[in-house]
């Protein structure tokens, strides 16, 4: 459950949140220089496996180097390998008792094992992540021991911990009160400080209200907070509340869950403000403390994707159970990560399995159709889109992209009657949609049919999106096909300015220049088009134009030249 705490970056920095884990200082004399430099490069590349491998190798010659120890620990945490960090974290703690990375490792392991006495002792001895995190983890450890008095005192003490954190203590205090069954006290705590609306706090309050048999208030809160949403978890909560069910309090189910929520809140606050590598450490700790929480896995996976660690992202998505409401979203994310990693067959298999396990979800069929279309398997793509369309009957305005993409698949497959019907249906659902107008209009131009209607569509699209290179190219190309060569020059030059490295646009500009007698400039544009890797057929045609000129090529193709051939 996404938790946006609204903390300012200045507050995060002021209380000592991590700003430099795993960054290398100049190479220590004793370290294996080659391995050390390789580890440093792995840090910059976000290659966590290589970082751990090379830093571990370098530690063999310098076993008490804090920088190398930090690198191994942070790299293993980033990969979710907490079982591999205990020895390194202990050594680093002994070398530097206040080391933040050591505290992250040691406290996480103790919290994961529900060793609350150990957590309290470590914090009392001076192990520290940050003022606020330490305070919240300390408080939750007392909750775990059953000492609510000490816990509540610590929750209350964070009110003045720093700008942006005034709600952090009360929110965690409310969760702790709800955990022990004091739902009235929990709600009073939240409302007394004007707790800002977040996804997590709204769900927590709704569950508290339901436990007090106030489902109507809970449902109103959820509707006001989220409205109509495709969020499966929220929709399930709405359904349970509407049915009069007593919704259990599950935002936190234990003190360990409470600690996990603390780390996730910090990760959410860091997101977008500091480097994703730092944010990932907190997200991974949250995931380690509560491995069955889908939103933690989703967040870790998203961060890993942004760090180009697609294999690790795929593994993070895999952690989400098939029966979890977030499973379809996770599977779509997993498929995207596989595509980014170049594993196209695996991507298709994952999406096919999703359409089998959740056949009622149109998103799965749409994603499968998109993937098949990218692989030019247009007939199969159209079939996938058709299934999604069948799930959305009667069609609404929101479905215009479905008809548009199926129309593209049909057009590429050569089934023009179905393609035209779908493209016109897309326009019926979303009149004057520029992309559809341009695609249908350009298709007519290519087939040299309905030219007046085609130009009307393209002009309308161009008026709506004057800075769209594709649409501007279509407008100019339509004028060219109509023999209005002089009029075509300016819009085609503009299209080339908007899309300077597009092979088709540069090729078109060459044709327009040729048609108005600017043959040297035409040849220059054709040469440019070849440099931008056009399709093989187009490349061969461009080479032929460079050899004999455009008009000779047109005649060879059975078309009229732009001007009479000079056979002399």
Flag whether the pTM goes above 0.85. no
Q: How many residues does the chain have?
A: 568
Q: Residue 162, class by beta-carbon neighbours within 10 Å (0-12 exposed, 13-18 middle, 19+ buried)?
A: buried
| DSSP secondary structure letters along 478-496 | HHHHTT-HHHHHHHHHHHH
Q: What is the pLDDT of residue 164?
A: 56
Q: What is the pLDDT of residue 149?
A: 96
Check: CB of residue 355 under 8 Å from CB of residue 387: yes
Task: Annotate 76-102 with three-state secondary structure.
Answer: HHHHCCHHHCHHHHHHHHHHCCCCHHH
Q: What is the pLDDT of residue 40?
A: 54
Q: What is the pLDDT of residue 45?
A: 53
C-beta atoms surrounding 394 within 10 Å? 5
**Residue matched to tokens 């407008």:** 475
Q: What is the pLDDT of residue 78?
A: 93
**Residue matched to tokens 């979303």:** 430
Q: Output the CA torsion sign for 335, 340, 343, 348.
A: positive
What is the C-alpha to C-alpha distance for residues 117 and 97, in angstroms, rounded to an integer? 18
CA distances 52 to 26, 35, 240, Å, are 18, 10, 46
Task: Annotate 525-546 with three-state secondary structure.
Answer: HHHHHHHCCCCHHHHHHHHHHH
Least Cα distance to 511 among 489, 487, 494, 533 occurs for 489
Structural domains in the chain, CATH included, are: 19-128 (1.25.40.10)
Q: Is 176 left (phi over 0), alpha (psi -120 to 50) or beta?
A: alpha
pLDDT in tens, 292-309: 999 999 999 999 998 988
pLDDT in tens, 468-521: 999 999 999 999 999 999 999 999 999 999 999 999 999 999 999 999 999 999
Distance from chain centroid for Cα 188: 36
Q: What is the pLDDT of residue 167?
A: 82
Q: Output the CA torsion sign for 378, 381, 387, 388.
A: negative
What is the C-alpha to C-alpha distance for residues 384 and 543, in angstroms, rounded to an integer? 39
Q: What is the pLDDT of residue 46?
A: 63
Q: What is the pLDDT of residue 43?
A: 55
Tell me the pLDDT of the chain (568 aa) as tens digits. 333 343 444 444 434 454 444 444 434 444 455 544 554 554 555 668 888 888 888 888 888 999 889 989 999 999 999 999 999 999 999 999 999 999 999 999 999 999 999 999 999 999 999 988 999 999 999 999 999 999 999 998 875 545 456 788 899 999 999 999 999 999 999 888 776 667 888 999 999 999 999 999 999 999 998 877 767 788 889 999 999 999 999 999 999 999 999 999 999 888 887 788 889 999 999 999 999 999 999 999 999 998 988 889 889 988 888 888 888 988 999 899 899 888 999 999 999 999 999 999 999 999 999 999 999 999 999 999 999 999 999 999 999 999 999 999 999 999 999 999 999 999 999 999 999 999 999 999 989 899 999 999 999 999 999 999 999 999 999 999 999 999 999 999 999 999 999 999 999 999 999 999 999 999 999 999 999 999 999 999 999 999 999 999 999 999 999 988 876 4
């Amino acid at each position: 459950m996404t938790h946006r705490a609204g903390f300012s970056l200045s507050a995060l920095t002021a209380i000592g949140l991590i700003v430099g884990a795993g960054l290398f200082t100049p190479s220590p004399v004793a370290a294996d220089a080659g391995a050390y430099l390789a580890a440093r490069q792995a840090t910059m590349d976000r290659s966590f496996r290589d970082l751990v491998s090379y830093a571990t190798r370098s530690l063999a010659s310098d076993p008490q180097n804090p920088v190398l120890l930090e690198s191994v620990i942070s790299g293993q945490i980033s990969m979710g390998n907490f079982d591999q960090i205990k020895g390194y974290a202990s050594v680093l703690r002994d070398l530097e008792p206040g080391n933040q990375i050591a505290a992250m490792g040691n406290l996480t392991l103790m919290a994961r094992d529900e060793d609350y006495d150990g957590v309290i002792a470590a914090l009392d001895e001076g192990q520290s992540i940050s003022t606020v995190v330490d305070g919240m983890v300390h408080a939750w450890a007392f909750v775990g021991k059953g000492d609510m008095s000490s816990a509540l005192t610590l929750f209350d003490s964070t009110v003045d911990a720093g700008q942006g954190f005034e709600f952090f203590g009360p929110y965690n205090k409310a969760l702790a009160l709800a955990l022990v069954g004091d739902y009235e006290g929990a709600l009073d705590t939240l409302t007394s400080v004007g707790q800002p609306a977040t996804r997590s706090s709204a769900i927590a309050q709704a569950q508290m209200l339901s436990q007090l048999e106030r489902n109507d208030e809970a449902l109103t809160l959820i509707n006001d907070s989220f409205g109509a949403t495709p969020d499966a978890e929220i929709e399930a909560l709405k359904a349970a509340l509407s049915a009069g069910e007593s919704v259990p309090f599950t935002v936190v189910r234990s003190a360990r869950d409470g600690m996990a929520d603390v780390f996730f809140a910090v990760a959410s606050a860091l997101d977008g403000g500091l480097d994703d590598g730092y944010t990932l450490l907190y997200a991974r700790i949250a995931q380690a403390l509560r491995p069955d929480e889908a939103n933690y896995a989703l967040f870790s996976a998203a961060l890993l994707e942004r760090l180009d660690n697609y294999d690790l992202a795929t593994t993070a998505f895999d952690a989400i159970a098939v029966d979890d409401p977030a499973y379809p979203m996770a599977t779509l994310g997993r498929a995207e990560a596989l595509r980014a990693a170049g594993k196209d067959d695996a991507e298709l298999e994952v999406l096919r399995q999703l359409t089998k396990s959740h056949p009622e979800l149109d998103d799965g069929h749409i994603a499968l159709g998109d993937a098949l279309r990218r692989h030019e398997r247009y007939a199969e793509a159209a079939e996938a889109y058709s299934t999604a369309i069948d799930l959305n009957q009667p069609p609404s305005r929101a479905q215009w992209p479905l008809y548009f993409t199926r129309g593209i698949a049909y057009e590429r497959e050569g089934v023009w009657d179905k393609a035209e019907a779908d493209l016109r249906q897309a326009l019926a659902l979303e009149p004057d949609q520029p992309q559809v107008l341009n695609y249908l209009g350009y298709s007519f131009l290519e087939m040299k049919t309905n030219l007046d209607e085609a130009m009307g569509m393209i002009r309308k699209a161009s008026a709506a999106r004057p800075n769209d290179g594709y649409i501007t190219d279509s407008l100019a190309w339509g004028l060219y096909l109509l023999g209005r060569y002089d009029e075509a020059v300016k819009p085609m030059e503009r299209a080339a300015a908007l899309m300077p490295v597009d092979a088709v646009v540069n090729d078109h500009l060459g044709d327009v220049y040729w048609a108005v007698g600017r043959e040297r400039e035409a040849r220059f544009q054709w040469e440019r088009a070849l440099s931008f890797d056009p399709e093989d057929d187009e490349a061969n045609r461009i080479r032929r134009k460079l050899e004999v000129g455009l008009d000779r090529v047109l005649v060879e193709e059975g078309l009229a030249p732009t001007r009479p051939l000079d056979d002399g």
